[in-house]
A and B are shown apart, each in its own frame.
Chain A
């Protein structure tokens, strides 16, 4: 038994393929954070006055906040003055005009990561991609095709220039400046991210995707994504992330805001594979992210799907505020922790409208010396007549040095609302393993199959391309498990 666990853990420590560093010249701000840093970022982005003021307001608020300590994670406190808050590959500061202007070194990076930037080379599935390298967006594909449909998909820094009225109307309405420590920091220093606007009645003709890459040393990545779906619009958005292997910790504090109006539908999927640190827990990305969507209109629908395999520390609770009547919120999550990873992740479903519905499916797998924790909140406001929630969180433990925890908060103030929550924890069952082996599968295949089955409910919510990627990611991570 112990031998097999050792073997699993050995295999789990397998290489991080995305861990290389790209050698490009950077235009970075020196480390440190004060009002001038905020002004400098804003100036580099040539932002209008109102946005600078908004940032400064956030920064003033941030100085009064303290780092949250309630999460079930341990880490060395971050020295916010030792970080650089802006880093762009030289010559990219103004935003790229076309692919020819992009540093070939960077193009090679994405090639290595398997992200198609050349539209003609696209795979069978049509996906428009916005790629973010450290603090700036490098390139957005299929802009023209999308524009024909009326869809706006561009870096948020570009949207500030081209569609200031939309950005001004929605920025910070879902995650207000003072929401929490990291969101507040992000509001002050956010650099880039994606902006998506789907006008009334439009179904986005293709999947939209952003690929985030942290490259430079000692930088924090603070991207901000804003997605708006007007009445009857619908969109599916994917997000992927990697970072090089470095000894020191990198900070990633993003904010994602989703707004769905009447009958709109937003599907947001993430495959998160930031660098997780080495076996001793050195290095790795601190992933402190605030993601929230608001179902503003009637019959609107927001769905979060996430596969979390990377990051030294994950602190992430994609939430849905169900304001409109009959709106639907969904959260599907697979979180795999190994090595010395720590994940504290889950969701919040705030029911306010009548007949709102939410579903939470969370699958946690912990191995080696990792800690995996589900933390969730389901709240039924007094106005949530006939609201309904179903929550299921399952955990799988591999080895006796890891931890799996569940902290669900359930609050009901409406007597016509129904909440159901169930959670279970177990290991890969010996019976299942025996059954598979008896039918001729080798132990590795058997475990892989069982784990895949364990996560199936979540994987089938992912768009095709991502489902394949997620399945593979899990397979690599768990190869060799013999329970």
Chain B
């Protein structure tokens, strides 16, 4: 199965458009990828994944896009009139984009020579691809990306939305590259959407560098549909005195995997990561989080909530690594999960790896169900059982939704959360 998958990748790579900005180069990346042993169930980081879902189905580069369908997927964003950069099936689409003001944002394919130079310089520095199969796959198949560059001292007022839309079957591997200078601020949202019932394979990679004393809010909503496969990666780096807040949501899609890496490479950093993952039907979601504390006096907080219903399977791995120099670190991770059906499954592993003594680190993880007494309370007041369950489940994940400071952006994920509960059969 691995060999068939690799030869499909080689084929797809050979038909992809030129991408001169890629650090490894397409040929080299696809060569490296085929030389690599692909992760399987025996690979520690993939042990809970049914990888036949990934390798088993066909892989080819997405063909010509359906722009009408793409614009349909943007309806809610159009309604709130926000700056949007649209990638359709991995390629930039200027017709569907509304460029933001006060910030340099451009598609790789449309960048000036000067911008191209900055892109080439910055790309691949955070999300290193050596030995990482799916990052290499991204480099082998990527056709376009978005470059957002915030100069030092600039505060970008409105949330910038980058939307990756899928309208035709096949693979797409968009890149999102952001650089925020010193004393600057940015709020941006990353959306991954697809038309329903599409055999789409998404391989997005996001890289983010945050300058000293800057502040970044990052929303990442992967809202998949039946038939979708999504293997994404986020790699962020913080410099001294910076603040980074990330809000993740993963809903829908047959197979979801997200590797989220945060590197704290300066003193006095503050980081808060909030995440939400919900799966039902036959959906599979796996979130791997790695927070690396390299220097002293940093605080990080991770809050993740998961729900698995019907035949859904959720995997969470949250790793906090404290290096020897990272004294006076405070790190806490909380991961709570709700199992709503007899056939659903949750696997979680909060990890701590600590080499410094003067630190305070804690993690907590729970897997359980709704409180019977709370359910009884609601029912005794006349709430039907399904409604009571939805209400309590909503309350369970609301901590993550409430953490999002931009209400309009948070509003973009809420309908999907509602739909999740509405559609549940006899939870």
Q: Are A405's CB and B358's CB within 8 A?
A: no
Q: Are A424's CB and B339's CB within 8 A?
A: no
Q: Are A420's CB and B366's CB within 8 A?
A: yes
Q: Are A425's CB and B365's CB within 8 A?
A: no
Q: Are A423's CB and B354's CB within 8 A?
A: no
Instruction: Name the A residues within 8 Å of B354 (CB-CB).
Output: 395, 397, 403-405, 425
Q: Does A413 contact B (CB under 8 A)?
A: yes
Q: Does A417 contact B (CB under 8 A)?
A: yes
CB-CB contacts below 8 Å: B316-355 with A: 324, 327, 337, 339-355
Q: Does A422 contact B (CB under 8 A)?
A: yes
Question: CB-nearest residue of chain A relative to B358?
Answer: A427
CA distance A399 to B356 in the complex (A): 8
- Give the shortest distance, in Å, between B138 (CB) and chain A (any CB): 28
- Give the shortest distance, in Å, between B213 (CB) and chain A (any CB): 28
Other-chain contact of A423, B350, B355, B360, B369 (Cβ < 8 Å): B350
Q: Does A406 contact B (CB under 8 A)?
A: yes
CB-CB contacts below 8 Å: B342-396 with A: 342-369
CB-CB contacts below 8 Å: A379-432 with B: 380, 382, 395, 397-427
CA distance A37 to B363 in the complex (A): 48
For B345, B352, B369, which residue has the most chain A Cβ atoms within 10 angstroms?
A: B352
Q: Does A50 contact B (CB under 8 A)?
A: no
Q: Does B3 contact A (CB under 8 A)?
A: no
Q: Are B339's CB and A414's CB within 8 A?
A: yes
CA distance A65 to B337 in the complex (A): 37
Instruction: Name the A residues within 8 Å of B361 (CB-CB).
Output: 424-426
Q: Does A70 contact B (CB under 8 A)?
A: yes
Q: Are B352's CB and A423's CB within 8 A?
A: yes
The digit string for B65-102, where 1 denotes a CB below 8 A from any CB of A, is: 00000000000000000000000000000000000000
Instruction: Name the B residues within 8 Å of A422 (CB-CB).
Output: 362-365
Instruction: Name the A residues within 8 Å of B64 (CB-CB).
Output: none
- Give the shortest distance, in Å, between B217 (CB) and chain A (any CB): 29
Other-chain contact of A412, B324, B339, B360 (Cβ < 8 Å): B339
Instruction: Name the A residues within 8 Å of B114 (CB-CB).
Output: none
- Give the shortest distance, in Å, between B236 (CB) and chain A (any CB): 24
Given contacts A406-B363, A420-B366, contact A425 B345 (CB under 8 A): no
Question: CB-nearest residue of chain B relative to A423?
Answer: B363
CA distance A422 to B365 in the complex (A): 6
Q: Are A408's CB and B365's CB within 8 A?
A: yes
Instruction: Name the A residues within 8 Å of B344 (CB-CB).
Output: 413, 415
Instruction: Name the A residues within 8 Å of B363 (CB-CB).
Output: 406, 421-423
Q: Are B368's CB and A418's CB within 8 A?
A: yes
Given contacts A409-B349, A410-B349, A425-B362, contact A417 B367 (CB under 8 A): yes
Question: CB-nearest residue of chain B relative to A377?
Answer: B349
Main secondary structure of the interface of B (DSSP, over half): strand
Instruction: Name the A residues within 8 Å of B339 (CB-CB).
Output: 412, 414-415, 417
Q: Are A399's CB and B350's CB within 8 A?
A: no
- Give the shortest distance, in Å, between A172 (CB) and chain B (any CB): 25
- Give the shortest distance, in Å, between B145 (CB) and chain A (any CB): 35
CA distance A408 to B352 in the complex (A): 9
Given contacts A422-B362, A422-B363, A422-B364, contact A405 B350 (CB under 8 A): no
Given contacts A424-B361, A427-B357, contact A382 B351 (CB under 8 A): no
CA distance A147 to B358 in the complex (A): 55
Q: Does B44 contact A (CB under 8 A)?
A: yes
Main secondary structure of the interface of A (DSSP, over half): strand
Other-chain contact of A421, B355, B359, B365 (Cβ < 8 Å): B365
Other-chain contact of B340, A382, A401, A415, A427 (Cβ < 8 Å): A415
Instruction: Name the B residues within 8 Å of A415 (CB-CB).
Output: 339-342, 344, 369
Q: Are A421's CB and B366's CB within 8 A?
A: yes
Question: CB-nearest residue of chain B relative to A392?
Answer: B364
- Give the shortest distance, in Å, between A203 (CB) and chain B (any CB): 36
Instruction: Name the B residues within 8 Å of A427 (CB-CB).
Output: 357-359
Size bracket, chain A contacts: 35 or more
Instruction: Name the B residues within 8 Å of A405 (CB-CB).
Output: 351-354
Instruction: Name the A residues within 8 Å of B352 (CB-CB).
Output: 395, 404-406, 423, 425
Instruction: Name the A residues within 8 Å of B367 (CB-CB).
Output: 380, 410, 412, 417-419
Instruction: Name the B residues within 8 Å of A404 (CB-CB).
Output: 352, 354
- Give the shortest distance, in Å, between B357 (CB) and chain A (any CB): 4
Instruction: Name the B residues within 8 Å of A418 (CB-CB).
Output: 366-369
CA distance A283 to B38 in the complex (A): 39
Question: CB-nearest residue of chain A relative to B337?
Answer: A412
Question: CB-nearest residue of chain B relative to A371?
Answer: B355
Instruction: Name the A residues within 8 Å of B369 (CB-CB).
Output: 415-416, 418
Given contacts A420-B366, A422-B362, A424-B361, contact A410 B347 (CB under 8 A): yes
- Give the shortest distance, in Å, between B282 (CB) and chain A (any CB): 15
CA distance A419 to B348 in the complex (A): 11
Other-chain contact of A410, B324, B340, B365 (Cβ < 8 Å): B365
Question: CB-nearest residue of chain B relative to A397?
Answer: B357
Q: Are B342's CB and A407's CB within 8 A?
A: no
Given contacts A423-B363, A424-B361, A425-B361, contact A408 B346 (CB under 8 A): no
Q: Are B360's CB and A408's CB within 8 A?
A: no
- Give the shortest distance, in Å, between B351 (CB) and chain A (any CB): 5
Q: Are B324's CB and A401's CB within 8 A?
A: yes
Instruction: Name the B residues within 8 Å of A421 (CB-CB).
Output: 350, 363-366
CA distance A331 to B364 in the complex (A): 19
Q: Are B324's CB and A414's CB within 8 A?
A: no
Question: CB-nearest residue of chain B relative to A425?
Answer: B361
CA distance A422 to B366 in the complex (A): 9
For B324, B343, B351, B367, which residue has the most chain A Cβ atoms within 10 angstroms?
A: B367
Question: CB-nearest residue of chain B relative to A389?
Answer: B367
- Give the shortest distance, in Å, between B350 (CB) and chain A (any CB): 7
Question: CB-nearest residue of chain A relative to B345?
Answer: A413
Question: CB-nearest residue of chain A relative to B359?
Answer: A425
- Give the shortest distance, in Å, between B427 (CB) and chain A (any CB): 9
Instruction: Name the B residues within 8 Å of A70 (CB-CB).
Output: 44
CA distance A147 to B402 in the complex (A): 67
- Give the shortest distance, in Å, between B39 (CB) and chain A (any CB): 15
CA distance A105 to B41 in the complex (A): 54
CA distance A409 to B349 in the complex (A): 5
Question: CB-nearest residue of chain A relative to B368?
Answer: A418
Question: CB-nearest residue of chain B relative to A391?
Answer: B365
Q: Are B365's CB and A399's CB within 8 A?
A: no
- Give the shortest distance, in Å, between A340 (CB) and chain B (any CB): 15
Instruction: Name the B residues within 8 Å of A397 (CB-CB).
Output: 354, 356-357, 359
- Give the shortest distance, in Å, between A434 (CB) and chain B (any CB): 15
Closest CB pairs A-B (n = 4)? A397-B357, A415-B339, A418-B368, A412-B367
Q: Mind listing 27 A-B residue pairs with CB under 8 Å? A: A395-B354, A397-B354, A397-B356, A397-B359, A399-B357, A400-B327, A400-B358, A405-B351, A405-B353, A406-B350, A408-B365, A409-B347, A410-B349, A410-B367, A411-B347, A412-B345, A412-B346, A412-B347, A413-B345, A415-B340, A415-B344, A420-B364, A421-B364, A422-B365, A425-B352, A426-B361, A427-B359
Q: A408-B350, A425-B359 are in contact. List 10 more A-B contacts (CB 8 A).
A: A395-B352, A400-B356, A401-B324, A406-B351, A407-B349, A409-B347, A410-B365, A410-B367, A412-B367, A423-B362
